[in-house]
Structure formats: C-alpha cells, structure tokens
A and B are shown apart, each in its own frame.
Chain A
Amino acid sequence: MIEFTLRRITATIPVLLGILLVAFTVLYLIPGDPALTVAGPRADETTLKQIRAEMGLDLPVHMRFFNYLQKICKGDFGESVISGKPVLTSLTEKLPFTLKLALISILFSTVLGIVMGIVGAVTKGKLIDRLCTLFSVSGISIPVFLSGLVFLYVFAVKLKWFPSSGFNAENSLMPFILPAFTLGIRSAAFLARIVRSSMIEVLNQDFIRTAKAKGLSPLRILFRHGLLNALIPIITVIGLDLSSYLNGSVIVETIYDLPGIGRYAMEAISQRDYPVVQGVVLLGAMVFIGVNLLIDLFYAWINPKVRDEILGKLAK
C-alpha cells in the first residue's frame, strides 16, 4: 500500500507541471505589458525598463517559467492587478463560502442522483423511468445561469421563500440553499444516469438472483447487494464531477450574490484581473488532481485488486 501510494503520488507530478505550463503559457500570451500596468501610462522608458527587470520580464521564456514555478512552490500566486492583494490570501478568505456551497450541493445531488438512478433502474422501461430519464437529460442540458435565474425569480422574488440575494451572518444556512440546489441539479442529473446504468448492470448479475432466491427483502437486495457493488463507478463520477462545482460557482455565486471564490473570479473576469483568474483556475485543477488522488487511494485501500489495475493504467 505504501509503495502504491508513493507511485500514485509521483504520477501526479508531470500532470501538475503540465498544468502550470499551460497556466504560464496563457499568462505569457496575454496581450499588454504588465510593467505598463504597474507603472501607469505616463511612465518613461527607463522606469519601465527598471520595473521589467524587477518583475523578471526581461528574462528568456524558460527562465521566466522557472521563476514562476519557484513562486508557485512558495505559495505565491501573484497579486491582484486591481487591489494589489496577494491572490492566495483572497482565495483562502473566500474558500469557506464556496466549500460550504459545494458541500451542501454535493450532499443534495448525491442523494437525489442515487435515488433517481435506483428508481430508474428498478422501474426500467416504465413511465417512472422515462420521467427520471427526462429529468436527467434536462438537468444536464439546462444551463446553470438559466436555472439560477428562474429559481431566483420563482422562489425568491415571487414566492419569497428564500432571501433573493446577499449573505448575512445571522442566517448562515438559508442563503446557501437555493444556490446549492441550482448547482446540484446538474450533478444530480449526471449522477442519476450513471447510477441507473450501473445498477441495471449489477441487478442482472447472478448474485442478485441468488439473493432473491434466498428470500431477502427487496430493499436489502437493492442497497446491500446492488448499490454497494455499483459504488465504484458512482464514486468515480462524483470525483470527476467535482470541478463542475467550481465552474458552476462562478455563475451561481454571481447570480445569488455570495462572497465566495466564484464571484471573486467573476469580478476578476470583468476587470480583466488576470493573476486572480489564473489563481482560481490553478486552484480548481489542483483540487481536481488532489481529490482524484484520494479516490484512487481509497479504492486501493478497500480493494487490493484495484491497485494493480490503477498501476497498470499509469504505466500504459
């Protein structure tokens, strides 16, 4: 297990380096001279040159990339062009909000997705299954910004069940419910499809027939024998889908006015504050890699057979 853990961790290093290379390239390609932004439009040529040298902009590309790597390793994601605050500080300040939003919506989407998927698998081909399928196709097709605006209009403005916008410390859960619901629907729909297809596959297996023949209760068969065996693709999908929460939070937090990472990114987008956008993108990629690493380790821990499979995949 220790060897496996080490090998799995080493395998993420080239991917991490590549991600930083892409982020660096995009930053490098961005039009405009960062030195000019720092110095202001009226700076003369000598000042500009000095600032360029200070910022390391006059170095050859590979040296700049190397410097960039060094900075990232030290936890320095650069500073916001607009406010001058270090990006990492702002990110850690805003992370709790987005994390809370993501956790509530993961909880919601996992429960809804699994229930819908199981119902669909059990009633395969019947009307209820068709309705579940319709829900999941619509769920992955309707853009988050549309469902967000529609929910806001219906539940907050017309029905007044939820606060329409803003975050206040007194009521710490209510402002998150509607955004989490909006964010979770897509993932629930996505998950319902996977749960349905993997449950159908598992329910056709011999051991399910045996369990039925033994006279076990249908619910026990469904959860204990069925869901437990369909769990691996389900957990994989939840892991793969994690980055969609960060994507969605950009839109959802803007619509519902929550002070998390998504709205921070959105503000940076409208102000063309590139270091901030890049920081958020990097954070998202790192979270994705980290979570998938954990999921692989978890699989390997519960089922040693998977270890060789994952190692084989890495070697290929």
Chain B
Amino acid sequence: MKTLFKRMTMPGWLSFIGIIIVVAIALLAPVIAPNDPMETSPERILKELDGYPMGCDQMGQCFFSRLVYGARLSLIIGFASRFAALIIGLAVGMCAGYFGGKVDWLLMRVVDMFLAFPSLLLSIAVSMAMGSGMGTVIFAIAIVGWAEMARIIRAATLELRSAEYVVAAKTLGASHLRIILTHILPNCLPLITVIFTMGIATAVLSEASLSFLGLGVDPALPTWGGMVATGKDYMLRFPGLVFYPGACIAFLVIIFNILGDELRDILDPSRRGNL
C-alpha cells in the first residue's frame, strides 16, 4: 500500500483526488443541492431564477441539483454492477483456471459466447426483457462485464496453479476451496483491483448510454445520461442542457480510466500498456 502511494504519478494523483471529490459530492448531495432535484414546476421551465444556480430544465427542475444528484446514481450503478460482475467473473475464472480440463473448456466457451455479443445491445435486450429499475440496470451491465473479468482471472489462476506454494499446499492435503481462498485469491488481489477500477469507467459509460436510450432507471430520477437525452430536444437554444451532464459523464469516466491505467502500471507491470 505504501509503495502504491509512493509510485503514483501526477495524473494518477489528480484522478484519485477527482474521484474523492465526486464521491464526496454524491454523499453530500442533499447538503450541496439547493433544491429538490425531482420537484417539477410549469412556471420555472427553462428559466434562470434566483436560488437556481444553473437555471431550470425543460421540466422546471433545478438543473444544478439534478447534476449533483446524478453523481450518486452513476457511482452507485457503476460500483454495484462492477461488483456483481466481479463476483461472477471470480467464480468462473478461478474454477476454470484452477480445475482446468473439461470444466475449463466448458466455462471458457460460455465466456466466449458472452464476449461475442455486442455489449450495449445485450444490455439493451436484457433491460427490455426485465423492465426498468435499478436492479435491472445493474444486472444488464454486469452480465456483459463479467466475461472479460473471468478471462483475465482465469489466466492469472492458471499461472498460480503451478506455483510452488500451491503445489505444497496440495501435497499437505489442503482442500480445493482452501487453496483457492487462501493461496490463489490473495495473490490475484492486485489484478482484481486493476480490472475492477478500469471496469468502473465502462460501467458508468454503459449506464449513461442505457439512460440516454431510455432503458435505465426511472426517467424521473436524475441521471446524467437521461439528462442528455431529454435535453437534446432543446439543444439548439440551450446547449448547456446537453453539455454539462455530458461533461460530467466524460469527466467521471476519464478519471476512472486514468486511475485504472495508473494502478495497472504499478500493480501489474506485465500488462503495462494493454487495455
């Protein structure tokens, strides 16, 4: 951990600070936002008013408050879907890599299958089938993300399987579960941190795309993707309605990507420069 902080470069620190700021904004949203983000009013539509820092949107909702609350949903869905994907990816990847043989062959064909789907389209199909809601969005994003994770974790497990301490544990009669949990999993942790962080960027982007297409959470809830979608009809007169939420998405995704790259260079030098 100490070396991690020591070796972090400037862009890494900046993105780390950026993430802390966004998380703080999301946590403190009720304090920062001056108004209720979901309170609509026909009198306030597209007007600049006192007490509404960035004016009101096409529904008369406080635009600034919606931006602030939007950070919450992006982060929650980004983290939760990534976490769900990680659990599936870990289980599948470790089983495939550790047991090898037929188990590996079968599991990897399932992974290939999920990798073959166009990711956004699979998410769209899943969220259409399941109906809208937070759970659906998290599931729809996790179901396209786990396969890539499983593939990377399998490769790492495959290498660790023949490590001397694993062979030693096996000779001592340790159970499979014990070997996986106490010997392989801890050694995969740096790799897991890297792919988890890098994946959050993709997950945030997917959530924004789904919300943009109207397949995300309830459209009344403040999401950045949804704000771009509803704002685009007013873009010619009020480009800010599209630009600000869009810039928020881009900012969040960029800082997660930079931090992910940084962590990869530090924790997993063998994959330096790869995606």
Contacts and interface: CB of A to CB of B under 8 A. Distances in A.
Contact of A141 (B120, B205, B228): B205
Interface in A265-307: 265-266, 269-270, 272, 274, 277-278, 280-281, 284-285, 288-289
A285 B117 contact: yes
Contact of B122 (A142, A281, A316): A281
Contacts of A198: 273
A30 interface: yes
B165 interface: no
A246 interface: yes
Given A26-B126, A137-B257, A285 B273 contact: no
A277 B125 contact: yes
Interface residues of A, number: 54
B129 A243 contact: no
Interface string B92-129: 00000000000011001110111011111110111011
B10 to A, nearest CB: 11
A153 interface: yes
A145 B228 contact: yes
B201 A149 contact: no
Interface of B: 104-105, 108-110, 112-114, 116-122, 124-126, 128-131, 201, 205, 208-209, 212-215, 225, 228-229, 232, 235-236, 239, 242-243, 246-247, 249-250, 253-254, 257-258, 261, 272-275
A29 B117 contact: no
Interface of A: 14-15, 18-19, 22-23, 26-27, 29-31, 137-138, 140-146, 149-150, 153, 157, 190, 193-194, 196-198, 200-201, 243-244, 246-247, 250-251, 265-266, 269-270, 272, 274, 277-278, 280-281, 284-285, 288-289, 315-316
Given A150-B243, A270-B214, 20 more contacts: A19-B117, A26-B126, A140-B257, A143-B209, A145-B229, A146-B247, A149-B228, A149-B242, A149-B246, A150-B242, A153-B236, A153-B242, A193-B275, A196-B273, A243-B119, A246-B121, A250-B213, A277-B125, A284-B118, A316-B105
B118 A143 contact: no
A30 to B, nearest CB: 4
A270 B131 CA distance: 13
A272 B131 CA distance: 10
Nearest to B252: A141
